[in-house]
Amino acid sequence: SSKPTPCPEGFFCAAGAHSPAKCPQGHYCEKQAKAPVRCPPGFHCPAQSSKPTPCPEGFFCAAGAHSPAKCPQGHYCEKQAK
């Protein structure tokens, strides 16, 4: 009898799936995730993220962001700006 392997970080394992699926961009998947979780505001989540990455200073990150967006000219965006 083979023991099921736990779902790795950066992937999700839906019920009945035969193999782990890569976590899509704009989402993150912790170890043993059953479904991707949408990236929260103030963070960005490239494809296969295992946890949200804080948005750097000078950029902003809306909910579901896969990469930081440059702060518009004439505005100031502190770290983790939404």
Q: Profile the chain (82 residues) by mean pLDDT over runs of 10 residues.
A: 77 91 97 96 97 95 96 88 82
Quick count: other Cβ atoms within 10 Å of Cβ 49?
Answer: 24
Instruction: Look up residue 77 and give its two tokens.
Output: 């965006």
The pLDDT value recorded for residue 22 is: 96
The pLDDT value recorded for residue 3 is: 65
The pLDDT value recorded for residue 5 is: 73
Is this model's pTM higher than 0.75 or not?
yes
